Chain A
Amino acid sequence: MKIFVFIFLLSTSSFAQTTMGRKYFSNFLGHVHKSMSKDATSLTIVQCSHSVKILKENNLLADWNYVQVGEDKGYVQSEFLTDKKPDCFQEKYPKFYNSVGLDISEMYYWGKLYDQYFQGKSKIK
């Protein structure tokens, strides 16, 4: 009996999805990275306002989140995620955006752009 209870508890922990909640991707386009580096391999491309699952990860660096998008699990910079659904160009001007006809390589580069920028904002007086 004890063995069965142990197996039952084990199965509970192994199947449990340690989801910490959901957040929205806030940049125009971006990447889910294989590791916590801007230059790490891209697992998938995410668009603005895409909802991502935040997963628990013990060895996480301060400015990174461990996320799941579809089947892919990887890392996204924390500053690119928001709790509130962002205003996105794609949703504001859907027909215009579709008319631009971005191909997959352009979408890839657009996502990389946000990894390569050094961003800043002078304080509000």
Chain B
Amino acid sequence: MKNILILILLITNLLTHTSAQEDPEAKSTKKIDETTFEEKEQKLIDYSNIKNVLINDGLEKQQEQREKLVKQIKVERKSISKDKYFYPTEEDFWDFISELWLVKNAQILSWDFPKPEYGIDVAFKNLLEKLGYFNKHFKILIVNTPTVVHFGLPAGKDSYIFLLSLPFVRSLDLTKVDIALVLLEDFFRLESKTFINNLKVDTTILGTNFYDTEVKKDFIQTVLKNYSRVIFDEGFDFQQQYEVTKEMDRVLKSDPALWGAYFRVINKIDKFIKSDLLYQKYLKIYPSPELQIQWLSPKKKVI
């Protein structure tokens, strides 16, 4: 008797555990019929055939109300379905497309490699706070290639993605403060939407609905193509460079140590890109450190 009792206990124990382990998500995979009772009823019964019976029984009004309700359900259902067919808003789009571009160019950029904590994120955060830029969320991606030296990509309101070349940082022996200043330049370019403007893509479809039309698949391809064009080949023009340099000058002037560090970084970059063939393209993307030095240098007074 005792043995039987113990056996029963063991079996129930096993059963309760297996049922507890059952994934609740598995249950949710069962297909749910979304059709309401009223709609099913409407489908099943042809009221036109029994119209006279309904009039005799005084149920015509009730039937009208029922038809109205089914109509309303159909409208609501269409509206719910329509909600799934929106293009992302401008706010949500840039983070998505910037990351999609990074994913599509993972091999060229070579960012998927083991790396230690460099402390760049902390240095940049401190710099932003020191200069009064609060509540800014940033993601820094270290790339193991000289193809892209440093670049800022849009990621929505108060959000930024920065690319930074490890070979570049090593070749120039940049300190954390130097790197933070280089990223600050990219931060200002993003704040002024220079990169988005240089893409020259029509973004008016963002936030609109495509329920009644086909989704424009070529839109994404066009944006990605233009990302590559600006990041790899065209970069920024002289006017844009002048504006960002002047902004850096204006912001950093209140802190002579930082201003000096920035001036030294530009000098370092200028000398380096003139001597290293690998970085000759830098001038095309950021024209030009030599001019930046001139724009930053105090003007000599002619007496």
Residues of chain A at the chain B interface (Cβ within 8 Å):
1, 4-5, 7-8, 11-12, 15-17, 28, 38-39, 51, 70, 89, 92-96, 99-100, 102, 106, 109-110, 112-113, 116-125
Task: Tell me whether B14 and A11 are in contact (CB under 8 A).
Answer: yes
B19 nearest CB across to chain A (Å): 11
Task: Tell me whether B121 and A119 are in contact (CB under 8 A).
Answer: yes
Where chain B touches its partner, the secondary structure class is: helix
Residues of chain B at the chain A interface (Cβ within 8 Å):
2-3, 6, 9-10, 13-14, 17, 20-21, 23, 25, 84-88, 92, 96, 99-100, 102-104, 106, 111-112, 114-115, 117-118, 120-122, 124-125, 128-129, 133-142, 210, 215, 217, 220
Task: Tell me whether A123 and B129 are in contact (CB under 8 A).
Answer: yes
13 A–B contacts, CB within 8 A, in A order: A15-B14, A51-B25, A93-B88, A110-B103, A116-B112, A118-B121, A118-B139, A119-B121, A119-B138, A119-B139, A122-B128, A122-B133, A122-B135
Residues of B within 8 A of A100 (CB): 100, 220
| Complexed CA–CA distance, A112 and B13 (Å) | 41
Number of A-B contacts (CB under 8 A): 116
Known: A94-B84, A113-B99, A118-B140. A106 touches B104 (CB 8 A): yes
Residues of A within 8 A of B103 (CB): 102, 106, 109-110, 113
Known: A4-B6, A8-B10, A95-B215. A89 touches B92 (CB 8 A): yes
A77 nearest CB across to chain B (Å): 13
B254 nearest CB across to chain A (Å): 17
| Residue among A28, A38, A39, A109 having the largest count of chain B Cβ atoms under 10 Å | A109
Task: Tell me whether B135 and A123 are in contact (CB under 8 A).
Answer: yes
Residues of B within 8 A of A92 (CB): 86, 88, 92
Residues of A within 8 A of B140 (CB): 117-120
Known: A120-B138, A121-B138. A17 touches B17 (CB 8 A): yes
B48 nearest CB across to chain A (Å): 37
Task: Tell me whether A17 and B20 are in contact (CB under 8 A).
Answer: yes
Residues of A within 8 A of B6 (CB): 4-5, 8
